[in-house]
Structure 1
Amino acid sequence: MHRRLTTPGALAAASLLLAIPASAASHSPGAPGIGDPYYPAYGNGGYDVSHYDLRLKYQPANDRLEGTATLLARTTQDLSRFNLDFLLDVSEVRVNGAKARFATSGQHELQVTPSKPLAKGTSVTVVVRYSGVPSSEQAYGFTSWLRTPDGGVAAGEPESAWWWFPSNDHPLDKATYDISVQVPDGTQAISNGTLQSTSSRAGWTRYSWRSNKPQATYLATLAVGKFDVTTATTDSGIPVINAYSKDLGDIAGAARASVERTGEIADWLTDYFGPYPYNALGGYVPNTTTGYALETQTRPFYSPRQFANGSNTSVVVHELAHQWYGDLVSVSQWKDIWVNEGFARYAQWLWSEYEGEGTAQEIADYVYASRPADDPFWTVRPGDPGPENQFHLAVYDRGALALQALRNAIGDEDFFAVLKGWPRKYAHGNASVADFRKYAERVSGKRLTALFDTWLFQPSKPGAPAAREASISARALGTKGAPEQPKSWKKIAATNGVHDHEHGHAE
């Protein structure tokens, strides 16, 4: 027995090694995470997706979803195996037409082993057939699928794709989308982009939507239910589709009075951020019990609670500002969230200025004065808040305050040149807080490291000398000459509900 193992066995093993091409031996599994320090298991390594084709069937009565997802991708390494982020039950996976082995791994990973290793730099087509009840699935103790009385909604940040399609779920891997959804007659399916077609057969209606510009996975959305749908066109020629649940009750009027101004507000934002970057626009308000809103690309999601106290154009400004800051230019890592949220909040301050209800300077002075130095608010660093504080109010308010400090430091001409030039420079890509600082330095010709450190990275309230240097009023509330509360403040504060989320994540 020992002779058999050491002699013929060794020869067989040597022969086998000689038979394996060197290139195949070098193939290795793609990483189960894309490398984000806040969320190490999110996204995947080894490939980049260029397009998702999702063909779905959804039954609102029992929340059952069936789907076939086709992913067009390119490998970024020699791959023996790769992961997808996904939670539903998978019946079959094919890679380049051939059946592949698959297994679940971790809390939200689908591990795929193709029949043949994949060489670096080659095109790959992955087909996944699946089904399940999204509302019954949880990962890490939460769900991002929102069940409604007449259907369901996929909307969440930083994750929502796992509950309805397999993906490389991180903003670093953007792709275009075709989303085709079959629902019972009388029910609608709302998604991103333009409505390409609708067709009905045997009691079912299929809605086919297309997003023709790169889109992060968390910005893909699906809402199925009974909606009143309105259509319009902006002054700049962009088609607008808005949708409102038929059972919004008393808030229906306030919701419409807000979201129907989408086209007007988007056109207004072009003066600050440049041309609107997509070929579709709109918003939708399903009958959910959540409190947050989300900048789903081209068609933001708004919860009914955003309009509980009346019309709320400020939240519409916030979500539409994200179409440039967050959607067109997305974070490189989730720690860069300030380049999304600080700017969307600052857009609300500019809207206040436009409406004559308080200038951005007056709001900045009030934000600085209204919180004493020992307020925990100041311990959150908007430039790198940590995953537990990613959507903390400080990222929004202190983040916008930092922008006013920057505006005062470099002057209006350079500041607004930065606001408009940044989305153009990084269009359809990703960028970091450091990238923004360097860009602002290049435009203004000024060194800004100290300013950014003071207003974005120190876990403490910037002192009076720093405030005066940034032309922020250092007078405390209750003292002579202290800032007064701007007229718009309550409206802006009313949008703080965008942070409320069962998982602690929102936009």
Structure 2
Amino acid sequence: MRKRLIVSAASALTLFLAVPASATGFQPGAAGVGDTYYPSYGNGGYDVSHYDIRLKYQPATDELEGTTTILATATQDLSRFNLDFALNVQEVRVNGWPATFATSGEQELEITPARPLAKGSQATVVVRYKGVPSAVKKYGYTAWLRTPDGAVAAGEPESAWWWFPSNDHPSDKATFDVSVQVPDGNEVISNGILTGKRSQAGWTRFSWRENKPQATYLATLAIGKFDVTTDTTPSGLPVYNAYSRDLGENADAARASVERTGELVDWLSGYFGEYPFSSIGGYVPNVPTRFALETQTRVFYSPRQFARGTNTSVVVHELAHQWYGDSVSLSRWSDIWLNEGFAAYAQYLWSEHENEGTAQELADYVYASHPADDPFWTVKPGDPGPDNQFAGAVYDRGAVALQALRNAVGDEKFFAILKGWPTERKYGNATIPEFQAYAEKVSGQKLGDLFTTWLFTASKPATGPVAGGASAAALAPGADGGKADGAVPVEPKSWKKIQEANSRHGEGR
């Protein structure tokens, strides 16, 4: 977790006024954070600590007006910096002074402050904007989903561009205040705790606060006519769920699944440790998408997740992300296994709990179901590439990798790793090599061969996730052990629900 630099008002003013506009040595911040999967995403030269987003939205026309205030600290001497944004900008101010701005590329907003920003100085950036988000497509895609009575912002790896300017990369997490004014009769749903609701002159303003660090793609917004339920978990955690009033035949199954959120988050706490945030819940809007998304504290679910009936497996998956993906976030998109492999494995644990198939049976089924020449094995969960970031192998082979780890180190050390990692790395970012190092420290074993075989080799391992551990030789990649000679094991009862749950987050990109 980043530490904010505290500078007195007088010191800050002196620092900014001491830097002339023509200062030498000041350079533009990078137009990307250097992520090889998405080179233009995020920006360099500064670190955001807080977003204050104030919006006015008209559901009938999809017109959005907004003012976002960003608190940031310069990490270099900055002459110019970028934000990621897609709507029409009307005005930008930096530390109260009007700033010039221009757009470039698909989503770059280039801002030149009246006075350059010295390294270590704090900046307050105010952006005023308006637009019709559904009319905007970037890279041929939109994460702004229109509904019959409003709209939803939910998407991975990007969704912020359509409703607030940001440093849009998980490596720069921040706290959020989101305040939205809508016509009376509508609800506004976002992350964290609802801190205020006030009506005046036919409009109602909803104010939400997420006071723990949050990646920008995990910020969500839903506007429309929802039925809302509130409760607390047995441990006292506030639960806030919402359902579109026009879900039709999926409504009952959605409620029967999502209303178990409080029970399931308490159950997961037994494996992953104390829940890291101040609230939990989910919402089901009337959208045609097929995926769910672990938007922080307030999970997004598509109605089609419940088209075949109740599906607690998808709820378990997205709640597991609150620890693995939200509290401990990836440092670069190639580390996606740290999100999806663990959330998928939580479904294996739930299957065990429900007596619908053990984690070992599920892992054996995945291994035996895919022959050696199946393209499934060409995807490396530890570095799948941007085109395969949400491929089935990242989830399924990624979960099997954890069963292999469990077998190699034994249950006691495995579950110590599973709980200790999100506790030690709470609210921060991490990489796969860092997780491997942690697992080796806790287990007292060298695990390089295991991680290489299951996460970084584009072929089927010679043996499955062998109970009781496996030698490096037995795990050696490239053997022709994948064409199953025997029958594929009986499909575990939980398998189809797990597959329904793990639909692609990046749908539509």
TM-score range, shorter chain: over 0.9
For 1:59, the equivalent position in structure 2 comes to 58
- How far 1:494 moved relative to its partner? 2.1
Aligned to 1:194: 193
Please name the residue that 2:331 is paired with. Answer: 332
Letter in 1 for 2:97: A
Q: Secondary structure at the match of 2:73?
A: strand
For 1:273 and 1:286, how far apart are their aligned partners in 2? 29
What secondary structure is seen at the aligned counterpart in 2 of 1:455?
Answer: helix
Residue 310 of structure 1, CA deviation:
0.3
Distance in 1 separating the partners of 2:152 and 2:264: 25
**Correspondence for 1:212:** 211
Q: How does 1:138-177 map to 2 (within 5 A)?
A: 138-177=137-176
Deviation at 1:140, TM superposition (A): 1.0
Pairwise CA distance, 1:425: 1.3
| Counterpart code for 1:74 | T
Name the CA distance, whole Å, in 1 between partners of 2:485 and 2:455.
Answer: 26
Q: Secondary structure at the match of 1:39?
A: coil
Q: CA deviation at 1:141?
A: 1.1
Alignment of 1:68-107 (within 5 A): 68-107=67-106
- Residues 267-286 of structure 1 aligned to structure 2 (within 5 Å): 267-286=266-285
- Asked if residue 418 in structure 1 is aligned to residue 420 in structure 2, the reply is no
Give 1:497 shift: 2.7
Per-residue CA deviation, residues 414-443 of structure 1 (Å, 9 max, x unaligned), is: 100000010011111100111110000000
Equivalent residue letter for 1:111: E
- Offset, 1:464: 2.9
1:44 maps onto 2:50 in alignment: no
Taking structure 1 as the reference length, the TM-score comes to 0.93
For 1:207 and 1:494, the matched residues in 2 are separated by 33
Q: Percent identity?
A: 70
Q: Which residue of 2 aligns with 1:13?
A: none
SS across alignment from 1:458:
coil
- What displacement does 1:478 show? 7.3
Work out whether residues 370 and 476 of structure 1, in 8 Å CA contact, stay in contact via their aligned partners in 2.
no
Partner of 2:248: 249
Verify the 8 A CA contact 2:364 2:465 in the aligned structure 1.
no
Structure 2 residue 478 is matched with structure 1 residue 486:
no
| Deviations 1:197-226, CA, capped at 9 Å, x for gaps | 100001000000000000000000000000
8 Å CA contact retained: 1:75, 1:122: yes
For residues 464 and 486 of structure 2, the distance between their equivalents in structure 1, rounded to whole angstroms, comes to 18
CA deviations 1:16-58 (Å, max 9, x no partner) are xxx9979920000000001111000000001001000001000
TM superposition score normalised by structure 2: 0.92
Query: What secondary structure sits across from 2:496 in the alignment?
Result: helix
Match of 1:262 in 2: 261
Q: CA deviation at 1:469?
A: 7.7
1:443 alignment partner in structure 2 = 442
Q: Render the CA deviation track for 1:161-209: whole Å, top value 9, x for unaligned.
A: 0000000000010000000000000011100000001000010000000
Mapped to 1, the partners of 2:414 and 2:274 lie a distance apart of 17
- For residue 499 of structure 1, report the CA deviation from its aligned partner: 4.5
Q: Report the counterpart of residue 33 of structure 1 in structure 2.
A: 32
2-side partners of 1:466 and 1:212: how far apart? Answer: 40
- Which amino acid is 1:66 matched to? E
Task: Find the aligned partners of 2:20 and 2:301 in 1 and give their Cα distance.
Answer: 55
Q: Deviations over 1:298-354 (max 9, x none)?
A: 000000000000000000000000000000000010000000000000000000000
Shift of 1:493: 1.9
| Residues 34/475 of structure 1: CA separation in 2 closer, same or farther (3 Å cut) | closer
Among 485, 495, 501, the alignment partner of 1:495 is 501
Amino acid paired to 2:272: F
Q: 1:468 to 1:134 in 2, by over 3 A?
A: same
Contact kept in structure 2, 1:392 and 1:499, CA below 8 Å: no
Q: Is the 8 A contact 1:393 1:499 kept in 2?
A: no
CA distance in 2, matches of 1:354, 1:110: 49
Give structure 2 stretches of 5+ with no counterpart. Answer: 1-17, 476-480
Write out aligned runs for 1:365-404 (5 A): 365-404=364-403
Residue identity in the other structure for 2:402: L
Aligned residue identity for 1:273:
F
Q: Quick one: distance in 1 between partners of 2:26 and 2:463?
A: 58
Counterpart check, 1:182 vs 2:150: no
Rounded to whole Å, the distance in 2 between the matches of 1:465 and 1:84 is: 46
Alignment partner of 1:428 is 2:427 = yes
> 2:124 and 2:105 mapped to 1: Cα distance?
24
Residue type matched to 2:65 in 1?
E
Ranges in structure 1 where 5+ consecutive residues have no aligned partner: 1-18
1:427 aligned partner, one-letter code: K
Code of the residue aligned with 2:401 in structure 1: it is: A
The change in CA–CA distance for 1:125 and 1:186 in structure 2 (over 3 A counts) is same
Correspondence list, 1:449-488, <5 A: 449-464=448-463, 470=469, 479=486, 483-488=489-494
Cα–Cα, structure 1 residues 187 and 468, in superposed 2: closer, same or farther, change >3 Å?
A: closer
1:8 is matched with: none
Cα distance change, pair 260–477 in 1 and its aligned pair in 2 (3 A): farther
1:97–1:169 distance in 2 versus 1, CA, 3 Å: same
Q: Aligned equivalents of 2:20 and 2:70: distance in 1?
A: 28
CA distance in 1, matches of 2:408, 2:323: 23
CA distance in 1, matches of 2:396, 2:385: 16
